[in-house]
């Protein structure tokens, strides 16, 4: 496969995956997007291997590193400012509060992931214990995946029914204080 063909296939692939993602989330199905994400990653890896030409070299990687760092900084600033605005406006609309909270936590999570990956690459690149570190990373991803599926499954939660919060499963947190409509 030539580089041009690969680029075209990748564009088509992105469109198809985006449509599946948006449609399944719209219909409140969260398992299909996770499965699609996994399959898409594998197919993308396969496609990359089919290209005989050079897709990226050291200059691209250097630029990618710098752009990733700048993206992190720009996103963090935007998210933090937006978070304060949403928090300030929570009396106007209560739904602004969770949005602000999601932005704040997403920034923390992003910075944590960045720090973790940086230290992981740093250790792995200069270490003889590549297999152990890779196994640890795989175990961590597996744990996160399981936790994510459990979180999205809707088990052990409070459900709003006829104006009252009804226990579903065994949630380890009290019923929400917000009004159930």
Partner 1 sequence: MKNRIKELRARLKMTQEELAFRSGVRRETIVFLEQGKYNPSLKLAHDVALALGSHIEELFIFEKGD
Interface residue list for partner 1 (CB under 8 A): 54, 56-60
Residues with Cβ < 8 Å from 23, sequence gap 6 or more? none
55 vs 85 by CB, closer to partner 1: 55
Residues with Cβ < 8 Å from 113, sequence gap 6 or more? none
**Residue 121 Cβ vs partner 1, minimum distance, rounded to whole Å:** 17
Q: Contact at 8 Å (CB) between 51 and 9?
A: no
Q: Strand pairing partners for 161?
A: 164
45 vs 54 by CB, closer to partner 1: 54
**Residue 53 Cβ vs partner 1, minimum distance, rounded to whole Å:** 8
H or E segment and range at residue 157: strand 157-161
**Residue 74 Cβ vs partner 1, minimum distance, rounded to whole Å:** 24
Give CA–CA dist 86/92, Å, rounded: 10
**What would the two tokens of residue 102 be?**
């999601």
**Residue 52 Cβ vs partner 1, minimum distance, rounded to whole Å:** 10
**Residue 1 Cβ vs partner 1, minimum distance, rounded to whole Å:** 16
Alpha-carbon distance values, 90 to 84, 142, 165 (Å): 10, 36, 22
38 vs 56 by CB, closer to partner 1: 56
H or E segment and range at residue 58: helix 58-88
28 vs 59 by CB, closer to partner 1: 59
- The DSSP output letter for 127 is -
51 vs 82 by CB, closer to partner 1: 51
């Amino acid at each position: 496969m030539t580089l041009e063909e690969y680029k075209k296939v990748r564009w088509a692939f992105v469109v198809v995956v985006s449509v599946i993602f948006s449609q399944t989330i719209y219909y409140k199905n969260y398992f299909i997007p996770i499965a699609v994400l996994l399959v898409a990653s594998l197919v993308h890896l396969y496609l990359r291997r089919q290209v005989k030409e050079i897709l990226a070299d050291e200059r691209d990687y250097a630029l990618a590193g710098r752009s990733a760092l700048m993206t992190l900084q720009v996103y963090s600033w935007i998210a933090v400012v937006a978070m304060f605005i949403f928090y300030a406006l929570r009396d106007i609309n209560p739904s602004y509060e969770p949005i602000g909270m999601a932005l704040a936590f997403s920034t923390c999570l992003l910075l944590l992931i960045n720090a973790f990956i940086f230290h992981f690459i740093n250790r792995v690149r200069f270490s003889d214990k590549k297999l152990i570190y890779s196994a640890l990373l795989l175990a961590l991803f597996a744990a996160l995946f399981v936790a994510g599926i459990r979180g999205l499954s809707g088990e052990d939660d409070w459900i709003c029914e006829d104006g009252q919060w009804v226990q579903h499963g065994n949630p380890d947190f009290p019923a929400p204080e917000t009004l159930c409509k």
